[in-house]
Structure 1
Amino acid sequence: MEEVSEEPVDLVERICAIDIGKTTVVACVRVPHEVKPGRRVQEVREFSTLPSSLIELSDWLRCQQVNKVAMESTSTYWKPVYYLLEAEGFDCELFNARHVKNVPGRPKTDKLDAIWLAKVIERGMCRPSLVIPGRSASCVT
């Protein structure tokens, strides 16, 4: 006999997923809706990969009270973003693009990639890659 469980899904409450390109990053923040329980609100913004813009991204994430930042590994472009946000105190996770792409239903634009990654990670549908600590000094200027 099949048993149906009414347990709520454990979601990451406040998440940011970042689609990283060579010159820009697209960030999608998903947080609980203030009025409607069980609903989510998302906002998508684009930032340059210049350090000053990444600090602006960090400030926005802090204002949104984000508690996890997820990003796909794209060449080596992820390194400055990852290490800067990690140095700013965010819980950063890097995901292998091949694993995320294997999850069915994936759209393909920078904005849709960021939204899709946020939804996949908040539901725990992928596992993060190992990032070796101590490389930040050479990656962020």
Structure 2
Amino acid sequence: MARLDVKDEVIHLRSAGVDLGKRFLLGCVRTPSTTHAGRWSLETERFGTSQAEIRRLLAWLVERRVEVVVMEATSDYWRSVYYLLQPHLT
């Protein structure tokens, strides 16, 4: 078993997860707390699956200065979201 050194860890201060479904997308953003040093703030938002709603998701992520996005999807629902977000976010 490989040993993981602390220096090997990458911590993204502003990250997001997006759960992709047929009828809606659910986004969650984690950012440093503005009121408690060393703590995190979580914010969630529900989006539709239309192009306009995916653009709203992009604006929501950019407004929060997200550094990295992870997506979880069933089937091919990830494609339209990925292709819209990819030029702007990691």
CA contact (8 A) 2:21 2:73 kept: no
Aligned to 1:57: 57
Within a 5 Å distance, the mapping from 1:71-82 to structure 2 comes to 71-82=71-82
Within a 5 Å distance, the mapping from 1:117-128 to structure 2 comes to none
Identity of aligned residues (%): 35
Secondary structure in 2 matching 1:82: helix
Whole-angstrom distance in 2 between the partners of 1:42 and 1:11? 16
Moved over 6 A (4+): none
Which of the two has greater strand per residue? 2
Whole-angstrom distance in 1 between the partners of 2:19 and 2:45? 11
Q: CA-to-partner distance for each residue in 1:52-108, whole Å, 9 max, x for gaps? A: 001011111111000111101321001111111113x100xxxxxxxxxxxxxxxxx
Q: Please report how far the alpha carbon of residue 12 of structure 1 lies from its aligned counterpart in structure 2 after TM superposition.
A: 1.4
Whole-angstrom distance in 2 between the partners of 1:83 and 1:34? 32
Tell me the TM-score normalized by structure 2.
0.85
Within a 5 Å distance, the mapping from 1:1-141 to structure 2 comes to 10-87=10-87, 89-91=88-90
Structure 2 unaligned spans of 5+: 1-5
Whole-angstrom distance in 1 between the partners of 2:59 and 2:82? 15
CA contact (8 A) 2:28 2:43 kept: yes
Whole-angstrom distance in 2 between the partners of 1:90 and 1:31? 16
Secondary structure in 2 matching 1:61: helix
Larger Rg: 1
Aligned to 2:3: none
Q: Which residue identity does 2:13 align to in structure 1?
A: E
Tell me the TM-score normalized by structure 1.
0.56
Whole-angstrom distance in 2 between the partners of 1:47 and 1:18? 10
